Amino acid sequence: MHALIVVAHHDPQSLTHSLARHVAEGVSGANPDNSFEIADLWAQGFDPRFGAADLAVHHRQAPPPADVAAEQSRIDRADALVLVYPVYWWSMPALLKGWIDRVFANGWAFDFSADAKLEKKLRHLRVHLVGIGGADAGTYARHGYADAMKTQIDHGIFDYCGASVVTSELLLDSEIQEPTVHLEAARVIGRDLFDASRCSDAAQDVHHCQPASVNAF
CA distance linking residue 54 with residue 208, whole number of Å = 37
To which H or E segment does residue 198 belong? helix 193-203
Whole-number pLDDT of residue 178: 86
pTM for the complete prediction?
Answer: 0.87
Q: Domain range holding 64?
A: 2-216
Query: Over the stretch 141-162, which tens digit does the pLDDT of each residue have?
Result: 999 999 999 999 999 999 999 9
Query: Over the stretch 174-216, which tens digit does the pLDDT of each residue have?
Result: 988 889 999 999 999 999 999 865 554 433 333 333 333 333 2
99/32: higher pLDDT = 99
Q: What is the mean pLDDT of residues 156-173?
A: 95
Q: Which of 66-75, 115-124, 183-192 comes out lowest in average pLDDT?
A: 115-124
CA 39 to chain centre: 11
Domain CATH number, residue 75: 3.40.50.360
Strands (E), 44-109: 80-86
CA 100 to chain centre: 9
In sequence order, which residues have a C-beta less than 8 Å from that of residue 111 and are 6 or more positions away? 118, 119, 121
Whole-number pLDDT of residue 113: 80
Domain count, the chain: 1
In sequence order, which residues have a C-beta less than 8 Å from that of residue 138 and are 6 or more positions away? none
